[in-house]
Structure 1
């Protein structure tokens, strides 16, 4: 079967769930994963066998399972990381947050921790670019920590991962604190894509409606005691409330727009 025909079959099925451009990108991810072939192979009209693996993967994708979980692989800032349903899928916005941190601190050799590390994507990239830094990541989930430790081993990057409930436990001092904590209120579930609700870990997504800024406030107050620099990913809808709270405490802060021109990235510093 020509790869172009296979692509047409794939995208025809997947456009019931995704936009055409997304369906095509998913096909190319599957093609590279299974055969290490790129878009060029399709354009050249190369042949392939429609084996059972293609059929099985397509069925999982048609069920709405994200392609990163189907392939157990997600690219992130130059790393190919293992992911499963115990961790969030790394997003481009998080890559942008990492880029901001690296730009702010070239040749950093201090200490940094990622709170709510999930797959370990943030500290692993930081360690790759800061080989002489002390890089750590913590999470409340033992299953997530297994994934992070697996990625650390497979990427040959020496990152310290440990279990921590940041809401109830103390944290040793770090020069930089990074976090993409849960910030989606349970009341917002109806607005979310079905495959996110069905497959991604709710413990990493949702926070109580009564105080959706709980993690940010807790981490920022902790960082203030330690005089740590903080970097966060958040929701653009929380900017007004976060601005007011930060101003009330006389904390210095800067917002950066994400790729969609939304106020999603936040840096907080202390004099």
Structure 2
């Protein structure tokens, strides 16, 4: 089947499925690029190019069964790096890239950085790639996620350290900077998420009944292991909550940052 016929049938299948695919043409082209190794421009200009019909619709059916696109094609671009993505870890979100810019404005050469709840390793690897003199360590409670982060470090030829740890349980060293994008969705919020989110590890999403329990634990324990600053990604409605937790634990110079959509999304503070 050629490109133009694949597109026509795929659009019909998406419509018939009743699934909420916000950009169906965009997703069709992503799948076409994935299976052909041709870019969108080539495929747009060569509508009679032959496509493996069975392979394409096998992948499309996965998408229509709520599998996230990043899991289907097995990769996600993040800053200047390419990450392997699969069910072992949460898919890095675009907004998290903004956290790297915030950290970069404070980081110093030869700093030691701990990325806690690392998942794919996205934050740790981006920090290392953009700050080559910085010593970066990442930790996670999930051995599967940590193994994926190791694979991504090898994929991007970046040297960082790995620790399997439930928060600070196995952290013996001290660090200048802590960065963390922990689970921050409440149990109630989780039940109302889009169905494709349920394909991602619940452990990486749900922060407890209230959603902000991980911040309480990390902030309380961090004072013993972090020497200078902490940075967090937060839920859109958690800015003042996390700020209050930091204030109660005697952190200083607390700042809340908005993401590009205007929501509270990041917090920094000094020890």
TM normalised by structure 2 equals 0.90
> Going by fraction, where is helix more abundant, 1 or 2?
1
Cα pair 1:257 1:264 within 8 Å, conserved: yes
- Report whether the alignment pairs 1:144 with 2:145: yes
- 2:205 corresponds to 1:205: yes
Unmatched runs of 5 consecutive residues or more in structure 1: none
Residue number in structure 1 paired with 2:256: 255
Q: Secondary structure at the match of 1:215?
A: helix
Q: CA RMSD in A?
A: 2.0
Task: List per-residue Cα deviations over 1:132-190 (Å, max 9, x = no partner).
Answer: 21111111111111111111111111111120011645442111111110111111123
- Describe the SS at the equivalent of 1:81: strand
Q: Say which of 94, 97, 113 aligns to 1:95.
A: 97
Change (3 A) 1:36 1:50: closer
Contact 1:182 1:205 in 2 (8 A): yes
The answer to whether the aligner puts 1:218 opposite 2:220 as a matched pair is no
- Name the CA distance, whole Å, in 1 between partners of 2:243 and 2:212: 12
Structure 1 CA distance, aligned partners of 2:266 and 2:12? Answer: 36
Report the equivalent of 1:108. 109
- Contact 2:29-2:40 within 8 A present in 1 as well: yes
- C-alpha contact 1:117 1:139 (8 A) present in aligned 2: yes
Change beyond 3 A, Cα 1:208–1:6: same
Change (3 A) 1:47 1:27: same
Please give the TM-score of this superposition, normalised by the length of structure 1. 0.90
Q: Is the 8 A contact 1:83 1:119 kept in 2?
A: yes
Moved over 6 A (4+): none
- 1:115-264 aligned at under 5 Å gives the runs 115-166=116-167, 168-197=169-198, 199-209=199-209, 211-225=210-224, 226-251=226-251, 252-264=253-265
Quick one: distance in 1 between partners of 2:145 and 2:170? 18
Secondary structure of the structure 2 residue equivalent to 1:91? coil
Cα 1:5–1:220 shift into 2, 3 Å: same
Is there any run of 5+ residues in structure 2 with no aligned partner, and where? none
